[in-house]
Structure 1
């Protein structure tokens, strides 16, 4: 195949994709659930807005940037919690956090009542909403507790596609999920590049060096470092198929978060005096936290 033919084929394949990244939160949730099965809970017409943003002259959103959708995925009862990255950077405040935590708690209650409800969380978030400070932190803690509760019964699968990424306390929530799916465009980290540069200096992390950022915190790197279970292309059908596959696997033998001691032992091998390369990180975490 000539270079021209290969380029034309690659372009054709790209245009044929149904980009998941280009969808908004509500569209993402609807696309993942079985056709005509989606029912939105605590939606925009319920006007569940943040009381704190308005006090600071910040325009609110009627669903506080979180979509709670109930339906079926591959025929199984599923709740999809989609964070809208375009609203306040997908940050978590009191209302949006309560919607996610409450939905996960109800899904756990369903399981205790004999209804095997599973969950998908679509992470496009910078973490806690600074304008709501401790209220946002408390909401994220409730989300984390609810994930741990529900994952005893049915898988909780996290997805981060892009373009916001998954940072802060919500990156911890992502790490608590039964399985984690990323795209190559996604980024996952506790602190964002600008925060690291601000606190440790540009020599530690240059927030304008995009190749460096993706080489260390991008979806492919996180997958190769055993911190995510799948890295898929930005295609709605591919993400939905991967979700169905992982749900059919049922619960993992051991949650990734339960292997923290082995991961910490791996982390001790990092030479903090020099900036680690992507290959070094992959080599250190190659065992995936298994001693």
Structure 2
């Protein structure tokens, strides 16, 4: 890509959650639900001296994609690391549940989830975990009717319980800058030691949990540039394709077989991981 093409494209990563939702929906169709003027803030953060945000870091946008009813759920990574608490989690779960209900009433509402999250919000602990579990259940319910498309672009990535939500999506889209994993680098280093996982070694981290590696390992379905137009078109193509014949989360035996072939006494290598998944899946 030449300099002129780079200047003409719009970075998806640099957009806020609200801007990302607007960019994915058909022009002029976005209507935000439970927006910032509703003042739906977490009741727990202020008690701990944390400044609240009026939308609790989650944007719920109703509109159309390809002229079909859709809801986009975008997490704001710049607020509390995109962490999931009681309010934000309830907004996502509730929107997915309403989309499923739409489908039961003959309205073919699809869903796109923009993951930019470190997982559960530690200040809300069990409440956040319960909300994430409700999100998981709602994704599984909705994907019986329509494809649920997830995307993680950067810079926070997608970790913790929300990485499980990403794994439940019908299609998962990543960029080169994205990261996707159950445990974040700092958590792994804390529990296993710096010799096992150095959270400051960015090339090492991206080589295992970065977007390209996840795509090459068949843990993501599409690998795109950080370009809002390209991402929008990839999401539309995924929605047109519909749900896969077999969701990734239904292939647990295949993934367990891959993990069983791992030798824990040897330092893992990115190329070996890709080869393992390629052979096993």
Query: Could you tell me the TM-score, scaled by structure 1's length?
Result: 0.95
- Out of 196, 201, 204, the position equivalent to 2:188 is 196
Q: Structure 2 CA distance, aligned partners of 1:213 and 1:74?
A: 36
Shift of 1:249: 0.7
- Out of 10, 22, 42, the position equivalent to 1:30 is 22
Within the alignment, does 1:71 sit opposite 2:74 as a pair? Answer: no
Within the alignment, does 1:131 sit opposite 2:128 as a pair? Answer: no
Q: Structure 2 CA distance, aligned partners of 1:16 and 1:279?
A: 34
Q: Structure 1 CA distance, aligned partners of 2:115 and 2:90?
A: 15
- Out of 74, 84, 96, the position equivalent to 1:92 is 84
For residue 122 of structure 1, what is the aligned residue in structure 2?
Answer: 114
Q: Structure 1 CA distance, aligned partners of 2:2 and 2:215?
A: 24
Once the two structures are superposed, residues 231-262 of structure 1 have per-residue CA deviations (whole angstroms, 9 ceiling, x without a partner) of 10000000000011111111101000000111
Q: Structure 2 CA distance, aligned partners of 1:170 and 1:51?
A: 22
Uncovered stretches (5+) of structure 1, i.e. residues with no partner: 1-8
Q: Structure 1 CA distance, aligned partners of 2:214 and 2:267?
A: 17
SS in 2 for 1:52: coil
Q: Structure 2 CA distance, aligned partners of 1:276 and 1:200?
A: 14
Q: Structure 2 CA distance, aligned partners of 1:70 and 1:106?
A: 11
For residue 282 of structure 1, what is the aligned residue in structure 2?
Answer: 274
Q: Structure 1 CA distance, aligned partners of 2:278 and 2:2?
A: 31
Q: Structure 2 CA distance, aligned partners of 1:75 and 1:278?
A: 41
SS in 2 for 1:18: coil
- Out of 186, 197, 202, the position equivalent to 1:205 is 197
Once the two structures are superposed, residues 30-64 of structure 1 have per-residue CA deviations (whole angstroms, 9 ceiling, x without a partner) of 01000000000000000000000011010000000
Q: Aligned Cα RMSD in Å? A: 0.8
Once the two structures are superposed, residues 197-249 of structure 1 have per-residue CA deviations (whole angstroms, 9 ceiling, x without a partner) of 11000111011111100110000000000000001000000000001111111
Q: Structure 2 CA distance, aligned partners of 1:22 and 1:243?
A: 18
4+ residue stretches of structure 1 with deviation over 3 A? none
SS in 2 for 1:86: coil
Aligned length: 281
Q: Structure 1 CA distance, aligned partners of 2:210 and 2:6?
A: 20
Query: Could you tell me the TM-score, scaled by structure 2's length?
Result: 0.99
Shift of 1:10: 2.7
Once the two structures are superposed, residues 89-111 of structure 1 have per-residue CA deviations (whole angstroms, 9 ceiling, x without a partner) of 00000000000000000000000
SS in 1 for 2:278: coil
Once the two structures are superposed, residues 69-100 of structure 1 have per-residue CA deviations (whole angstroms, 9 ceiling, x without a partner) of 00000111100000000000000000000000
For residue 154 of structure 1, what is the aligned residue in structure 2?
Answer: 146
Uncovered stretches (5+) of structure 2, i.e. residues with no partner: none
Q: Structure 2 CA distance, aligned partners of 1:258 and 1:213?
A: 27
For residue 5 of structure 1, what is the aligned residue in structure 2?
Answer: none
Q: What pairs up with 1:168-187 in 2 under 5 angstroms?
A: 168-187=160-179
Q: What pairs up with 1:219-230 in 2 under 5 angstroms?
A: 219-230=211-222
